[in-house]
Amino acid sequence: MISNPTTAVDKTPKNTKLTSNQALSPDPNLPAPGGSLRFKLRRLAPTLTGETMRIFIDGKYYDEKNAKISVFDHGLLYGDGVFEGIRAYHGRVFKLAEHIDRLFNSAHAILLKIPMTRAGIIRAVVECCRQNKIRDGYIRLVVTRGVGTLGLNPHKCKRPSVIIIAGKIQLYPPEFYQRGLDLVTVATARNLHSALNPAIKSLNYLNNIMAKIEALNSGCEEAIMLNSEGFVAECTGDNLFIVKAGQLLTPPLSAGALYGITRGVVMELARESGMAVGEPNLTRYDLFNADECFLTGTGAELIPVVKIDGRVIGSGKPGPATKKLVGQFRELTKVSGEPIYP
C-alpha cells in the first residue's frame, strides 16, 4: 500500500523512546506523531547505528543512494507491475507465504512472469531483513514490468525487476490507534472489476490516491470507497470491518475489497473466539449504525474507527470487540512468521 510512501523508508532505531499514549498502537517502535516536517527531518537524519539501508534489486544489494531503476521501466512509466507490503514482528516475517502467493496471483493476472521462484523470493525477503538488521519493520516487495520502450507494449520489456526495501512505516499518527479514526466517504468509486480488478495489487494506485486526496482535503486521514453500485468496498489502503450485534462483518471480495492478509487473519481470530463472521454487502447505513468499526491492513494493522461522515459510531470510542481483536492479533505476531535469525 502506498498511503504514505515517504515514511516507508523511515528507519527509526529500535530503542527510540516514543509517546506514552499508544495503548492500541500495535507497534511500539512507531515514531512519534508530528507531521510531515518532523518525518522529513527523521528521514534525513542518519540511523542510530550510522548504517545506510541496503536495498535488493535483481539479486544485488545497493545502498539507499545508489538503489536506482531506469526511467524506461514500465513500472514508472505506466504503473505496470505488482507489489506487496509485508511486516516483520519480533524477528519473524509475518504471513510471508501468503504475501508471496498474492504477489504471484497479481502477477499472473497481468501476465507478468516473475523472474524468481516463490522460494527464491521468500529467501530474498528474509535475507534483506537480515542485511538491514530488521526485527520489527515493514518490507516493500515490488516487481516491475522492467525496461521497455516509450510505448505501452509490455512485450518490449525483456526482464521484470524485483526490488525489496526493508524499513519502517507509519500510516496513521499513533494517537489514532488509541482514540480512533474519523472517516469520510468519497466520490471516487473503487475500480470496476471489469476495468482494473481491485484484487490485483498493482503498482497503479491512482484510484486509491485520488480517494486519499479527497479524504485529506476534508480533514480526514482515510477514505471509505464505494463500488459503482454504492456498496462499501474498502478504504484506500485498508479493509473495513464492522461489529453489529456480536457479529463481525466485512464487505465481500466481489464488492471490490482486496483479499487482505490482515483481513483473513482477523476473520480467523474472530471465528476462533466464537464470533460469527459474515461477508455481506454493506451500505453506508450499515456503517453508521454499527456498534464498532475498525480497519485492517499490513501497514495500518488494526485501527479503530469512531466517526464516519459526521456520524458517531457506537459509543464513539474504540469498542470491546475491536480491542480484543487487537490483543489477539498482537499475540499472534509474537509467535507466528518466517524466522529472520534462525
Footprint of ligand PLP on this chain (CB under 6 A)?
Answer: 1, 85, 208, 234, 237-239, 258, 260-263, 296-298
Q: By C-beta, is 157 or 208 nearer to ligand PLP?
A: 208
Quote the crossing angle between the two packed helices 261-272 and 96-109, to the nearest 10°. 130
Closest approach, Cβ 46 to ligand PLP, in A, equals: 30
Q: By C-beta, is 67 or 141 nearer to ligand PLP?
A: 141
Is 274 exposed, middle or buried, given 0-12, 13-18 or 19+ CB atoms closer than 10 A?
Answer: exposed
Which DSSP string do the residues of 224-292 spell out, in sequence order? EEE-TTS-EEEESSSEEEEEETTEEE---GGGT----HHHHHHHHHHHHTT-EEE-----HHHHHT-SE
Q: By C-beta, is 148 or 239 nearer to ligand PLP?
A: 239
Q: Is the dihedral angle over the CA atoms 295, 300, 303, 305 positive or is it negative?
A: negative
Q: By C-beta, is 147 or 169 nearer to ligand PLP?
A: 169
Closest approach, Cβ 190 to ligand PLP, in A, equals: 8
Closest approach, Cβ 164 to ligand PLP, in A, equals: 16
Please name every residue paired with 195 in a beta bridge, in sequence order, or none if there are none.
none
Q: Which helix (H) or strand (E) holds 103?
A: helix 96-109
Q: By C-beta, is 74 or 212 nearer to ligand PLP?
A: 212
Q: Which residues are catalytic?
A: 201
Closest approach, Cβ 50 to ligand PLP, in A, equals: 32
For residues 31 and 36, give the distance between their C-alpha atoms in angstroms, rounded to a whole number: 12
Closest approach, Cβ 272 to ligand PLP, in A, equals: 18
The answer to whether 96 touches 86, Cβ cutoff 8 Å, is: yes
C-alpha cell at 18: 516514543
